[in-house]
Amino acid sequence: MKKTGAWLARYALEQLGIKHTFGIPGVHNTELYDELNNSEMITPHLVTHEVSAAFMADAVTRTTSSLGTLVIVPAAGLTHAMSGIGEAYLDGIGMLVITGGINRSTGKQYQLHQIDQLELTKGITKAGFRIENHNEIVATLFRAHRIATSGKPGPVLVELPVDIQLFKGEVKHLPEFQPLSTSQAVSESLLNQAADLLKTAKKPAMFVGWGAKNARSEVLALAERFNMPIATTLQGLSVVPSDHPLHVGMSFGRHAVPAAEQAFADCDCLVAIGTCFSEIPTGSYGITVPEQLIHIDIDEAVFDQNYPAKVAICADAKQAVSQLNQLAEKLSIGAQHNQQIQNNIEQAKQAYQQEWRELATDRVNPAALFSQLDSALSQDCLFVVDDGNHTFLTAELMPFSQQRSFISPTDFNCMGYAVPAAIGAKIANPDRQVVSVVGDGAFMMTCMELVTANQHELGLVYFVFNDGELSQISQGQEIPYNRKTCTQLGKVDFSGIAQATGSHYLRINNNDEINDVVEQALSLMKTHKTVIVDVAIEYSKRTRFTQGVVKTNVERFPLQDKLRIVSRALTRKITG
């Protein structure tokens, strides 16, 4: 049979269960867009900028079982999208990136968008493919999907040249997609070694990352069996429910909230699940990891990179933790219930919340706002945050009960994520509330994408934490430099952005206005409106994360440099 490359690509995407694509059409992919428009299953979505397309696709993967997919023009479209592709790569988020390619039938060089895209993206994709003929299209897209979703997930690039899209070619047959089995054997010997460590541990604890996102019940069962406090990574914040009596918050150590720091003090055996111990969740590597480390991850490359493991188990988290639970039950090992551990965690949580509630301010107290949001939002609300000071305020003060209810840029740490990611999350989850908290600097990067939100009448609320600074960095500048450089933002009228994009604008000036404005915003959201809530946030009190990371990094400096930096800061403070 003879089919165009665009038709074959559409067929393959339908076989893969793709429901949404994101991007901008151009001369190298208009044929593919025309085919997608014919699909009863796939909806192509126009964006204002390709970086937004990548963040939207990222959010689809994080919040559903579908693979987020880009359909973008080559070269410029790809380079615009690369920040979002890079975020997905470092965070372990599957993504299918389909670009057009030059018209090879002309035989000419120096064509529009002519660039080696596979070479360009080699460092931020799991694999890259360039289609050479029609017979390769379906099989290559199937293979790309398997690579993107297996092992540690990540983005895969497929370049589909425009001539193959446009012209018909002979294909032998149309295969149907068959998902590969993800089950794999878990070493019994390693499981026994892990069980032995837990059996003899006096103060075991658990550190859980995004890799355990599908293993909530297994993780909780193991933690409860051994009375293990549970800390999570930033990305894994909603892997376990915040209201579980053993959940202490994000990370552990002095950059974590007091409940986590206290619960993990003197930990003699750590079970780390689905985490690579990267910089943010370890507080710039400021945590103390015991010698008895049980590390479970699907990617064997992460073992012993930053902290040596006594037992390293390369396996899917759900399967490995389930089998470890079964083994512990078979061996009748565990710990007697210790209510005091849970009491201490709850008391520390309440004390930290109270500490924030007592913050005196004529602006908006973050704890008061998060408390109202916790009361007003639905249990299954999707919470999307960006990169900045607001990220760690959210992590420390906002509880999450549902799985995959919190998403954020993490290891690539890309600002501008939240506005488009919230749009992608809502498109993929139309029946769920989607709310975003975003800093003013991050909001300014991608705020024009609200045009897309209003075009689709999605119903979103963006709480813009407005203090006129890039606060996470400006706070980090204060101790070593005693001044702020290039972190003061120009004045922006967010009501003007609302008017320009067709959004509604509300303002919270102080704590007394929180309840009424939140209620108004959520009411407007129910009528499919996009709402910008301009929050006059109080940022004078630093998060535990910021305090701890600054101390860790300064203390790590050589003595001579430490003295020089402290001396410089003191001199500037005295002289002004």
pLDDT tens-digit readout, 380-437: 999 999 999 999 999 999 999 888 899 999 999 999 999 999 999 999 999 999 999 9
Share of the chain above pLDDT 70, in %: 99
The two three-digit tokens of residue 232, written as one number: 């999570």
- The distance in angstroms from the start CA to the end CA of the chain is 78
Statement: residue 567 has pLDDT above 90: no
Statement: residue 177 has pLDDT above 90: yes
Statement: residue 61 has pLDDT above 80: yes
What would the pLDDT profile of 442-498 be if each residue is shown by its tens digit? 999 999 999 999 999 999 999 999 998 888 888 877 767 878 888 888 889 999 999
Which of 288, 324, 287, 294 is CA-nearest to residue 309? Answer: 294
For residue 289, what are the CA distances in angstroms to 182, 273, 301, 479, 554? 30, 14, 19, 27, 20
Q: What is the pLDDT of residue 220?
A: 98
Q: What is the pLDDT of residue 180?
A: 79
Q: What is the mean pLDDT of residues 140-153?
A: 97
Q: What is the mean pLDDT of residues 35-58?
A: 98
For residue 250, what are the CA distances in angstroms to 173, 178, 189, 372, 454? 51, 38, 31, 21, 34
Statement: residue 113 has pLDDT above 90: no
Q: What's 405-473 look like in SS3? A: CEECCCCCCCCCCHHHHHHHHHHHCCCCCEEEEEEHHHHHHHHHHHHHHHHCCCCEEEEEECCCECHHH
Q: What is the pLDDT of residue 104?
A: 79
Segment holding 168, helix H or strand E: strand 168-170
Q: What is the pLDDT of residue 213?
A: 96
> What is the rounded average pLDDT for all residues in the chain?
94
Confidence of residue 573 (pLDDT cuts 50, 70, 90): confident
d(CA 307, CA 288): 9
More confident of the two residues 74 and 485: 74
Q: Which residues neighbour 42 within 8 Å (Cβ) at sequence distance 6 or greater?
A: 10, 13, 14, 18, 19, 20, 21, 36
What would the pLDDT profile of 506-515 be if each residue is shown by its tens digit? 999 999 999 9
The one-letter amino acid at 208:
V
Q: To the nearest 5 percent, what fractions of the chain are helix, strand and coil?
A: 45, 15, 40
Q: What is the pLDDT of residue 232?
A: 98
Q: What is the mean pLDDT of residues 526-545?
A: 96
What DSSP character marks residue 171?
A: -
What would the pLDDT profile of 233-274 be if each residue is shown by its tens digit? 999 999 999 999 999 999 999 999 999 999 999 999 999 999
Q: What's 119-155 look like in SS3? A: HHCHHHCCEEEECCCCCHHHHHHHHHHHHHHCCCCCE
Q: What is the pLDDT of residue 404?
A: 87
Range name among 120-129, 139-148, 163-172, 412-421 with the lowest pLDDT average: 163-172
Statement: residue 537 has pLDDT above 90: yes
Q: What is the pLDDT of residue 507?
A: 98
Q: What is the mean pLDDT of residues 125-143?
A: 97
pTM of the model: 0.95
Q: What is the pLDDT of residue 210?
A: 97
CB 101 within 8 A of CB 167: no
d(CA 301, CA 459): 41
Q: Which residues neighbour 151 within 8 Å (Cβ) at sequence distance 6 or greater?
A: 298, 299
Distance of CA 200 to the CA centre of its chain: 36
d(CA 222, CA 219): 5
d(CA 432, CA 87): 24
Q: What is the pLDDT of residue 105?
A: 77
Q: What is the pLDDT of residue 1?
A: 86
The two three-digit tokens of residue 17, written as one number: 């269960």
Statement: residue 372 has pLDDT above 80: yes
Share of the chain above pLDDT 90, in %: 85
> Exposure of 220 by Cβ count < 10 A (0-12 exposed, 13-18 middle, 19+ buried)?
buried
What would the pLDDT profile of 323-340 be if each residue is shown by its tens digit? 999 999 999 999 888 899
What would the pLDDT profile of 85-109 be if each residue is shown by its tens digit? 999 999 999 999 999 998 877 787 8
